[in-house]
Amino acid sequence: MIYSALLVGSLSGSLGGFTASRNAGGPYIRRRAIPIQPNTAGQQDVKARLSALSAAWASDLSQAQRTAWNTYGTNTPILNALGETILLQGRSWFVGNNVARLRAGLARVDAGPTTFGLPELTLPTMDADNGPSIDIGYTNTDSWATAVGGALLVQASKQKSPTVFFFKAPFLYVGRVNGAVTPPTSPAAFTAGLPSALTAGNAVWVRVRGATADGRLSAPIILRTIVVIAG
């Protein structure tokens, strides 16, 4: 739970079953619990990549590259869960953006972006059928689509009852649309790697992000649709 320091002041430490602290996203309160090790393949993969990228920040990147990422962070304000404007350090941008790239099979970007801010991602469209297939319509003039090394990253949920209207996690990676000098043609159909078979009448969500060739990552867009009968 993130809280506003204007309301409760600066807290630190544990009381009862709760712990108050602060991170790059601002002050927060969480329920105190004994940590457990990730036990799914996806969680283990993310943990390994986070560790490798943290090591790469210290050992592989030049000082000029680290400075460029820090400059990007200084010039790229974002909003936390409370709607407060915050700035992340360059290391956080390098690690976070490259985790998404590596999980999608894209190359790591070491040079810090010289274009500041998050790249724009035009609202995609989504359809799903029980083929199964998830079709994503996109705008191929967005910056992710116009250069080699950019991509549209697509994750999907397992299907849910049509009475469910909110879904937060987990999303599983299902594929990407590659950018190119000659941009790809919309829409893109994803038929393999879906989290589950799709049944007509159920709901499914996708989480879409644009990854640009210079290492930037757009804010995520989450879409919901009802599965229809193929054909």
pLDDT confidence of residue 200: 98
pLDDT tens digits along 12-60: 454 555 556 556 556 655 565 555 555 777 778 889 999 999 999 999 9
Asked if residue 159 lies in contact with residue 174, where contact means CB atoms within 8 angstroms, the answer is: no
pLDDT of residue 10: 46
Three-state secondary structure readout of the chain: CECCHHHHCCCCEEECCEEEEEECCEEEEEECCCCCCCCCHHHHHHHHHHHHHHHHHHHCCCHHHHHHHHHHHHCCCEECCCCCEECCCHHHHHHHHHHHHHHCCCCCCCCCCCCCCCCCCCCCEEEEECCCEEEEECCCCCHHHCCECEEEEEEECCCECCCCCCCCCCCEEEEEEECCCCCCCCCEEECCCCCCCCCCCCEEEEEEEEECCCCCECCCEEEEEECECCC
* Encoded tokens for 62: 């030049």
Q: Is 20 exposed, middle or buried (0-12, 13-18, 19+ CB in 10 A)?
A: middle
Q: CATH class for domain 125-226? A: mainly beta
- Copy the structure tokens of residue 118: 């998050």
Two structure tokens written together for 139: 């705008």
Tally Cβ neighbours within 10 Å of residue 201. 13
- Report yes or no: 212 and 174 within 8 Å, Cβ to Cβ: no
Q: In the structure, what pLDDT confidence band is assigned to residue 82 with cuts at 50, 70 and 90?
A: confident
Lowest average pLDDT, out of 75-89, 130-144, 150-164, 202-216, goes to: 75-89
* pTM for this entry: 0.82
Q: Where are the domains of the chain?
A: 1-35, 41-103, 125-226
Average pLDDT for 195-205: 95
* pLDDT the model gives residue 160: 96
Amino acid (1-letter code) at residue 167? F
C-alpha dihedral, 20 to 87 to 156 to 228, nearest 10°:
110
Structure tokens that stand for 29 in this block: 């309160």
pLDDT of residue 3: 44
Mean pLDDT of 73-78: 96
Q: Which tops the pLDDT comparison, 72 or 193?
A: 72
